[in-house]
Structures are given as structure tokens and as C-alpha cells.
Amino acid sequence: MAFALLFGATIILIRTRMPEGIDDSTTWLDQGSGGITTATILMPFAGISFLWFIAVVRDGLGRYEDRFFASVFLGSGFLFLAMMFVATAALAALVASNKAMTDPAAHRDVIEFGKMFVLSTSKTYALRMAAVFMMSLAAIWLKTGLMPRWLVALSYLAALTLLVVSDLNMWAAMAFPVWVLVVSGLILARAGVFEEIRARID
């Protein structure tokens, strides 16, 4: 759940401050530097939470873990996280170097290149790895029956959405943290965490 909230906040901060088109390619960095800096600070903690999520999910598979799909599951998860780290590191570099630029023409070119690098890394590559992550896990659940069929169907649907739509709009990235939130909630519910919290409150 921590990953879903932190990653969702990161996506919202970046999307609302960095335009996806080529217009106004320099002023957005000045106007939105505070929010972008906040996003780059949140992303490492989101990454730590994601590694924890992977560990919890894999632990839940236990002896039912399929080595073929588990390899794809782990590989795609690590690639997704690595590319999101690279994208936010590029954003942090843009913010840090923004005030040091003295040539306006070079300044514009650097910002434009950095923005397109961030968008390509996050939308074209990282989100498609997230889709593979979801599909491989859904395949394991379908094969083992460890999760309900509705979650398997939802996972495939969200993954296909990311595969097809991720290049068109950065808001599509929100499908992944929402999916993680649903999976985490179901895992916690099965573990009886919510009942234990309710009992302590009562």
C-alpha cells in the first residue's frame, strides 16, 4: 500500500508539472521545480516499498511458485523499478542544472532532450515492464488458484491497458499503483489484518 500511495503521488506531481508535448518546453521547469523535486524525493521510498511488495507476494506463493513465471515476474519488476529510478534521476538532474545554464538555446535543447528522455523511459519502457509484471503474476494466480478469478481478469485488463495506452498518456501509469493497492488490500484482508485493527479499535 505504501508503494501505491507514494508512486501514485510521484506520478501526479510529475504529470501536473511536466507537459507531454513540445510546447512551452522551458518554463515548466521553472514553475514546477518544487513539485518535481518532491517527486524525485518520494520515488526512492516508493522503490523500497515496491521491493517489499515483491517479497510479500513471492512469500505468499510459497511452494506454488512457478520458476518460469516467477523469473519473468521478478525480472520485469526489477526492470520497471530501475527505469523509474533512471527517469526520476534525469528529472532531478534537470532541476539541479536548470539555474546553471547560461546559453538560452542550449538551455532549451537540454530541457527538451531531458523531458523526452524521462517520458520515453517511464512511459514506453517502464510501464510496459509493469504490464509484464502484472501479467506474469496473473498467470501464476490463474495456474495455482491462489487469488480469485476476478483479480486475475482485472490484472490482465490493467496490463493490456498499460501495454496499449501507456505511450498515449502518462495518466495511464495510475493503473499500476491502483492495481498494487487492490492486491495489497486483498493480501492484508486474507491475513486478517483489518479484523485485528477493528478488534483493537473496538
Q: How far apart are CA 137 and CA 66, in angstroms?
A: 10
AA identity, residue 130? A
- Rg, Å, the chain Cα set: 19
Q: Which long-range contacts (CB under 8 A, 24 or more apart) does 154-159 make?
A: 154/179, 154/182, 155/179, 158/131, 158/134, 159/130, 159/131, 159/132, 159/134, 159/135
Written as tens digits, the pLDDT of the chain (202 aa) is 889 999 989 988 888 888 776 555 667 777 777 888 899 999 999 999 999 999 988 887 777 777 787 889 899 999 999 999 999 999 888 888 777 666 666 677 788 888 888 888 988 899 999 999 999 999 988 888 888 899 999 999 999 988 888 777 777 888 899 999 999 888 888 776 445 545 555 5
Q: How far apart are CA 143 and CA 9, in angstroms?
A: 33
- Owner of C-alpha cell 481478469: 153
AA identity, residue 117? F
Neighbours of 91 (CB within 10 A): 26
